[in-house]
């Protein structure tokens, strides 16, 4: 049973939303100001946060920033501010979805369900990526052995850092799958992506250089990220 932290200062609306979420099977914790929202987040560790923009004491945008400093929990902004610039700011600061008032309760519950499902799938994928199988992978002239942490190109050993090895391993065992920079930074480096961070790009450049010609199999998907070229059959 997933838990939802609802931060909404309009108490009558908060009651209606909490009741609808409870009917949908969620455990709901309701607060009415920004400071209490932060305190309850630490106490109950919710699976999702619904956050009103216009909260007393600390506004929703400030709460959003503080939550993003400590957690990647899905956050849905719930607000009467429907200007495009407000939506853009909320999403850029770290909101995962944005619902403006007035809204349909059925749609809100559907969005909550979709966010939680997406989060669950992402965690499952990340867990699988973080704990990969231990068999030797051979693609083109590259051979990678995760047991011995060795990589060879056309039979010659290539020296890689642990980060480069982990990145190569992830790409090679998922040929054709595109990984965006934020996902790679979170999975390989354990860090949250910040716009302009070149860590992933620089690591890919080093890998290509060290792998020589076979490194061309690491393809750039412009505007998205990187993948290992799917082999033709």
Predicted confidence pLDDT, tens digits, the chain (233 residues): 789 999 999 999 999 999 999 999 999 999 999 999 999 998 888 999 999 988 999 998 899 989 888 887 889 988 776 666 666 666 677 788 888 888 889 999 988 988 888 777 666 666 666 656 678 999 989 999 988 889 999 999 999 888 899 899 999 999 999 998 888 887 787 665 556 668 889 999 999 999 999 999 999 998 788 999 987 54
- Residues 121, 22, single domain; the answer is yes
Please report whether residue 94 resides in a domain: yes
- Residues 118, 190, single domain; the answer is no
How many domains does the chain divide into? 2
Domain boundary among 101, 129, 157: 129
Torsion-angle region of residue 223: left (phi > 0), alpha (psi -120 to 50) or beta? left
Question: Count H helices, E strands: the chain?
Answer: 8, 12
Q: How far apart, in Å, are the Cα atoms of 118 and each of 84, 109, 115, 179, 214?
A: 24, 14, 5, 16, 34
Question: What pLDDT shows up at residue 28?
Answer: 95
Question: What pLDDT shows up at residue 48?
Answer: 93
Give me the domain span that covers residue 57. 3-129
Question: What pLDDT shows up at residue 233?
Answer: 42
Question: What pLDDT shows up at residue 192?
Answer: 58
Question: What pLDDT shows up at residue 98?
Answer: 83
Q: What is the pLDDT of residues 133-158, one digit of tens each?
A: 678 999 989 999 988 889 999 999 99
- Residues 97, 173, single domain; the answer is no
Q: What is the 3-state secondary structure (H, E, C) of 191-222?
A: CCCCCCCCHHHHHHHHHHHHHCHHHHHEEEEC
Question: What pLDDT shows up at residue 53?
Answer: 87
CATH of the domain at 16: 3.40.50.2300
Question: What pLDDT shows up at residue 206?
Answer: 93
Distance, in Å, from the CA atom of 133 to the CA atom of 103, rounded to the nearest integer, reads: 46
Question: What pLDDT shows up at residue 132?
Answer: 62
CATH of the domain at 197: 1.10.10.10
Distance, in Å, from the CA atom of 72 to the CA atom of 115, rounded to the nearest integer, reads: 12
């Amino acid at each position: 049973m997933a838990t939802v932290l609802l931060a909404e200062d309009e108490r009558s609306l908060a009651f209606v939303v909490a009741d609808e979420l409870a009917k949908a099977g969620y455990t709901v914790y309701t607060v009415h100001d920004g400071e209490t929202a932060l305190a309850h987040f630490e106490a109950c560790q919710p699976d999702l946060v619904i956050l009103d923009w216009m909260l007393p004491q600390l506004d929703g945008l400030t709460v959003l920033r503080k939550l993003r400093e400590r957690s990647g929990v899905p956050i849905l902004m719930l607000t009467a501010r429907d200007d495009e610039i407000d939506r853009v700011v909320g999403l850029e600061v770290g909101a995962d979805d944005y619902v403006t008032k007035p809204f349909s309760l059925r749609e809100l519950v559907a969005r909550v369900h979709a966010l939680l499902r997406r989060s669950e799938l992402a965690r499952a994928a990340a867990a699988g990526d973080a704990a990969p199988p231990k068999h030797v992978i051979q693609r083109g002239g590259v051979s990678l052995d995760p047991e011995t942490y060795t990589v060879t190109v056309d039979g010659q050993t290539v020296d890689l850092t642990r980060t480069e090895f982990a990145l190569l391993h992830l790409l090679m065992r998922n040929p054709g799958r595109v990984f965006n920079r934020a996902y790679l930074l979170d999975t390989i480096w354990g860090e949250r992506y910040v716009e302009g961070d070149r860590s992933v790009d620089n690591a890919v450049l080093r890998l290509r250089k060290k792998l020589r010609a076979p490194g061309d199999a690491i393809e750039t998907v412009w505007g998205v990220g990187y993948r290992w070229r799917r082999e033709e059959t």
